[in-house]
Amino acid sequence: MIEENLGIIGKLVIPKNVQQLIDYLHYKIGSTEWSGILFYKVTKGSIDKLKDLEFTATFIYPMNIGSSAYTEFDYTGEIVNAYNVFEGGLECSTGLVHSHHNMTTFFSGTDVSELQDNAKNYNYYISLIVNFSHEYCAKIAIPSKTSSSLLSKFKNALGKYVSISLIKEEKDILLLGDLKVVIENKVTVPEWLPLRIKVLQSVKEEVKIPFIHDFNTFSNDEYLGKDTIKKYNFTKDIDFSKVDKKKQFLTSLVNLNEDNKNGSLLFSLDKLKGLPEAEQELFAQALEENIEILHDKVYGTNDFFRKHCAEALSELLTHEKKYEELDLFDVICQTLSDYAAL
């Protein structure tokens, strides 16, 4: 379907009660994508003019908890439950809301495909993407038709030229507009507070780490295999500030999460095995969108980005033999290679 981008044509207001629902879902579900039905109303402007529009979210009803990189649901009879708990639902329009949890918000190829597939069932259709940081984005999709015509001239009985317009072709077109998301009663964080938190986080604390073994990797204080505790070495008081930055950078890329930079790189790579193809595609796009952000968070600067990508690639290739059959290993290598060559 042909798409026409209209730019920003209005805004979507998120009231306090709806924001509380989103925050609670994030709190309970964590770093996993979820999706559901967005209920909303037109509160200002006219859809006929496609400018200065204001929509207000009225309710959300979760329908699916997916994985760290993918979520989807079908409209089944279960939707009746949404109207049972939200009495005003019949007076509202419906669209989609889904979470990118700790990732940036953007419309991936999968998200745009969802707009294309579902918008045809509505007069207009809104999709909202939310995350932990309250950096939301939204689009409105409006199915329409476009036609082209030919102007034909011919002489009438008096020998004068007259003209008629002949329809040549009619096509379906999807109008896409961006909506600025406005969160009502959004808490403003004073500038000094994030700086204070960084100071506190930099203070060395005694860190409990998992056992270390040449043949096993760990997560959540658990180990793989049946080896006994005696075969492991327990190390105390590791200062993570001294962990090799390129390894931190790599681990954060594999997890798409800066908070996991001090985890096991090999365990993180193992988690990528067996991901469905749709999730692999979303991971690749999210990696492209977040690589510079994760670099800046790990290194604390945007300097030497190209050099650091080359160093990380060199480190990653030391594990090439172990992960030669992992497609996403090649994706990460290629992404680092592309940026290292800039």
Other CB atoms within a 10 A radius of the CB of residue 77 amount to: 6
Amino acid at position 275, single letter: L
Q: Where are the domains of the chain?
A: 2-183, 239-340
**Residues whose CB falls within 8 Å of the CB of residue 327, separated by 6 or more in sequence, listed in order:** 280
Position 167 scores a pLDDT of: 67
Position 243 scores a pLDDT of: 57
Question: Per the structure block, which two tokens stand in for 219?
Answer: 């997560």
Beta carbons of 42 and 54 less than 8 angstroms apart: yes
The rounded distance, in Å, linking the Cα atoms of 17 and 50 is: 27
Position 191 scores a pLDDT of: 77
Amino acid at position 291, single letter: I
Q: How many whole angstroms from its chain centre is CA 107?
A: 7
Position 201 scores a pLDDT of: 67
Position 260 scores a pLDDT of: 67
Tens digit of each residue's pLDDT, the chain (342 residues) = 678 899 999 999 999 999 999 999 998 888 889 999 999 999 999 888 888 999 999 999 999 999 888 898 988 888 899 999 998 999 999 999 999 988 889 998 888 889 888 998 999 999 999 999 899 999 999 999 887 777 778 888 888 888 887 767 778 889 999 999 999 977 777 778 777 777 776 654 443 333 222 223 333 333 333 333 333 333 333 344 455 888 888 988 888 887 767 778 888 888 888 788 878 888 888 888 888 888 888 888 888 888 899 888 888 988 888 888 888 999 999 889 888 876
What does 264-316 look like in DSSP terms, one character per residue? -HHHHHHHTTT--HHHHHHHHHHHHHHHHHHHHHHHSSSTTHHHHHHHHHHHH
Of 116, 134, 115, 110, nearest in space to 126 by CA:
115
Position 202 scores a pLDDT of: 66
Beta carbons of 140 and 181 less than 8 angstroms apart: no
Write down the CATH number for the domain with range 2-183: 3.40.140.10
Q: What is the pTM of this model?
A: 0.55
Of 163, 108, 99, nearest in space to 136 by CA:
99
The rounded distance, in Å, linking the Cα atoms of 137 and 129 is: 5
Find where tokens 């095995």 sit: 273
Position 90 scores a pLDDT of: 93
